[in-house]
Amino acid sequence: VSVLEIPVLIARKRDGGELSADEIRSLITAYMAGDVGDEQMSALLMAGVIRGFSEAEAVALTEAFIASGDTVDLSDLRGPTVDKHSTGGVGDTTTLVVAPVLAAAGLQVAKLSGRGLGHTGGTLDKLEAIPGFRVDLTPEQMHEQVERIGLAVAAATQDLVPADKRIYALRDVTGTVPSQALIAASVMSKKIAGGADTIVLDVKTGDGAFMEQLDEAVGLAELCVRIGEAHGRRTGALVTDMGQPLGDAVGNALEVGVAIEVLRGERDDRLAALSRELAAAALALTGEPEPEEKVSQVLEDGAALEHFREFVAAQGGDATVADRPWEVLPSAPIVRRWAPGAGVVRDVRTRRLGELASLLGAGRQRKEDVLDPAVGLVVHPRIGDRVEDGEPAVEVHARTEDDAARVLELLPEVVRLTDEDVRSVDLVHRRIGMGS
Amino acid sequence: VSVLEIPVLIARKRDGGELSADEIRSLITAYMAGDVGDEQMSALLMAGVIRGFSEAEAVALTEAFIASGDTVDLSDLRGPTVDKHSTGGVGDTTTLVVAPVLAAAGLQVAKLSGRGLGHTGGTLDKLEAIPGFRVDLTPEQMHEQVERIGLAVAAATQDLVPADKRIYALRDVTGTVPSQALIAASVMSKKIAGGADTIVLDVKTGDGAFMEQLDEAVGLAELCVRIGEAHGRRTGALVTDMGQPLGDAVGNALEVGVAIEVLRGERDDRLAALSRELAAAALALTGEPEPEEKVSQVLEDGAALEHFREFVAAQGGDATVADRPWEVLPSAPIVRRWAPGAGVVRDVRTRRLGELASLLGAGRQRKEDVLDPAVGLVVHPRIGDRVEDGEPAVEVHARTEDDAARVLELLPEVVRLTDEDVRSVDLVHRRIGMGS
């Protein structure tokens, strides 16, 4: 693509046409070289958001993103390599359960992860709540650790998919976020560049998710699966509910604590159920004949917990967290409980709940914000559950009395009760690319 | 508009919503202050190009463009003040005829003009083909000249409608040119800021125009007229044919020469006809009861030519050009004639013809290109005209034999003949805002 042709390509997309894989590759290459300006890229993105990108364009975008930087080669590891991604939710700590379960089941888990922004938490932020835990592994350290103990979770380096990083930042300020193709290319380019041959996606839908509507989430999940398959990866996706927090905890140390409780067999809740489903999905993709049984086995015989212990130790963390989570993890000085009165939980404004946790210091409003690992919220009931008069529904873990008071005041708008019966909400809406 | 709201406004336009006049004003102000980035503005423009801007948005954009810089005040001049604008064509020299005709008829003509880019010429470039002619008048000089002799044509200063200048440059590289609202706001903001109380527009349609389709050109003309009226200006528009060159000449000195021939009463062609129509339209808007008769009178009694002579002298040019144009104007060293054989002219690829003139040095491919005033093309027949065997249809005025040879080789693709009869093409397709 010569510089003079760029407006012509933008105009074709503007008029509803399609760009070839070669043209998309040239555009992304030229963008990274500075020959396509931010103003040109954002115009192209807007045209694509409104007119839509085809599946072929989404595959080509993914490929062009991957080609913009380094890729990880895991092909010399014995056995299937697996990565897992969630589109982001509230109280969503499945990675901390799924990764050790899969490692215990014989898969190689090399997960590159991100930090949280807005109302959702990031896996790296959660892991760093464990005293001593480090996420800045070099590619070589990561590779060696996976080879040795079967799992590693680290921050993606700047050299991995740099085109996605630049375009993601551009989309954020130009109103060009909501495009299935752009979201799918962003997610899948990072997963594919990360080197795993098996990819499991957890696409969230509901008030606390980026894709609020079920049909949008299903479309995104289907597109991601097809992109993964087009790049030769075994790919599956669950479309799951984010109309209420997944686990009880919202906040970094609190979420690590409940994840460890799941690994210890001390919890049988929605977090535990979804973690089992996701792990079974990964095992099914790699050909495991009885995936659910395998997951139960490694949870019950302690192998998953043992792999978690090794994982924490390998990345410099205090491994005794696996045995005494609430003693090892940092805790907030102020804990206040909120009892909403008697009734049935009608709805939980999940996005708002994530924002309240951020307000306490558990999440970032801006990239440069420093988190407090100890603060957050614990939400006990789920939609359809009955709460008795005086029974606490939410715990507020805060740095100060003022912070706690501000959040307590807002909670009645977030967890709302009714006198009538309310149906509980399905956890998994759809399974895509899973064979059946 | 706070910086955080900008992506929200962009998203509203993306989803087909409308921006208020306040929001548009704030966005343009913030853009000029650097608080809205080029990447944000181009995303907004693309959303507007695809979704469309409403008439209210177009009026607000025009107002915001005007408010970004200085405006000219002509209210102290005696009698109506008039400006004329063409959307750009090939062989379109009407300004050089219309301006002195209107001045001779008692109007005050203060025209701010531009330079040519691509396949169309600019009035300033044409005037500068006259030895000594200067277009860099200060606003004060321009005002004084109009007061004294009734007309002045000058380059717009950088302080007039700076927002349009920046956004125009942005649209050029981001595929966001084709929007009636953006084109209308760009045209009308400059005309309104220029201070004239009466505005006549010549909106071109056909192969050599930016708006190739008639319905698009009519839509643009109607929108421009409504914007002008919303800003309290008497505004009218003709939608005219650019499916072939307007005058015979394409090239700066050549076009000045034929314009002078029209003023001298030596030509009765499409250029003369359209110049008369546009001048009559301006006079009709200002309340002249017999506009056509008035135009004929000042052309026949020499008053228009005399005003042209004074105008050239006032701006430093050699006024004897009015009497002996072909002796005073620069001429090209090489003149070659092309005879296409016998037949009837079926079509003229007008845009291509403009590009060939640029190739010879008459126009710019890029802003910084230096023009040769002498070179260009003279095209004699019009669509439907019969050409006899051996009769020259086109003259090539070139700097070098090589240049001439290159163009001669391409001419058979540009002026095409047929054996059958061909209907001649109407010159004026529509009259808008003219009362009847």
List pLDDT tens digits, range A190-229.
Answer: 999 999 999 999 999 998 887 889 999 999 999 999 999 9
pTM for this model (two decimals): 0.87
What whole-number percentage of chain A has pLDDT above 70? 97
Find, among B363, B360, B397, the residue nearest to B378 by Cα. Answer: B397
CB B109 within 8 A of CB B152: yes
Find, among B47, B363, B84, the residue nearest to B200 by Cα. Answer: B84
Collect the ranges in chain B with pLDDT lower than 70.
Answer: 1, 4, 116-119, 435-436
The alpha helices in B264-335, defined as continuous H runs, are 270-285, 291-300, 303-314, 325-328
Q: How far is A351 from chain B (nearest CA, A)?
A: 18
Mean pLDDT of A356-381: 89
Pairing mode of beta strands A334-338, A394-398: antiparallel
pLDDT at site A392 = 96
pLDDT at site B225 = 97
Is A17 at the interface with chain B, CB within 8 A? Answer: no
Mean pLDDT of A151-175: 91
pLDDT at site A436 = 47
What's the token pair of residue B84?
């004329």
Find, among B90, B88, B87, B86, the residue nearest to B349 by Cα. Answer: B90
Tell me which chain B residues have a C-beta less than 8 angstroms from the C-beta of A7. 172-175
Tell me which chain A residues have a C-beta less than 8 angstroms from the C-beta of B182. none
In the block, tokens 């939400």 appear at A379
CA–CA gap between residue B267 and residue B240 (Å, rounded): 19
CA–CA gap between residue B342 and residue B420 (Å, rounded): 11
User: Which amino acid appears at position A114 of this protein?
Assistant: G
CA–CA gap between residue A398 and residue A358 (Å, rounded): 11
Contact A42 B43 (CB under 8 A): yes
pLDDT at site B210 = 78
Q: How sure is the predictor about A368, in pLDDT bands with cuts at 50, 70 and 90?
A: confident
Q: How far is B98 from chain A (nearest CA, A)?
A: 36
Q: Angle CA(A132)–CA(A137)–CA(A141) in degrees, nearest 5? A: 115
A214: number of Cβ within 10 Å: 14
Query: Is residue A333's pLDDT more than 90?
Result: yes
What whole-number percentage of chain A has pLDDT above 90? 86
Query: Is residue A4's pLDDT more than 80?
Result: no
CA–CA gap between residue B396 and residue A227 (Å, rounded): 57
Pairing mode of beta strands B198-205, B151-155: unpaired
Find, among B224, B282, B233, the residue nearest to B62 by Cα. Answer: B224
Q: Angle CA(B14)–CA(A16)–CA(A180) in degrees, nearest 5? A: 60
pLDDT tens string A261-282: 999 999 999 999 999 999 999 9
Residues 41-60 of B with CB under 8 A from A: 41-47, 49-51
pLDDT at site B377 = 97
CB A209 within 8 A of CB A89: yes
Query: Is residue A293's pLDDT more than 80?
Result: yes
pLDDT at site A116 = 67
Q: Which of B25, B171, B231, B429 is catalytic?
A: B171
Find, among A76, A193, A235, A69, the residue nearest to A146 by Cα. Answer: A76
For residue A418, what are the contacts with CB-CB under 8 A and spacing of at least 6?
A343, A344, A346
With residue B141 as reference, give the H or E element that holds it. Answer: helix B139-149
What's the token pair of residue B157?
């200063």
Please, what is the average pLDDT of chain A? 94
Q: How far is CA A103 from CA A127, A235, B21, B91, in A?
A: 17, 18, 59, 76
What's the token pair of residue B43?
């995303």
Q: Which of A82-91, A119-128, B275-284, B351-360 has the highest mean pLDDT?
A: B275-284
pLDDT at site A434 = 79
Tell me which chain A residues have a C-beta less than 8 angstroms from the C-beta of B10. 46, 174-175
Orientation of helix B291-300 relative to helix B94-104, angle to 10° = 100
pLDDT at site B436 = 47
CB B52 within 8 A of CB B181: yes
Q: How far is B101 from chain A (nearest CA, A)?
A: 41
Determine the 3-state secondary structure of A387 from DSSP. strand
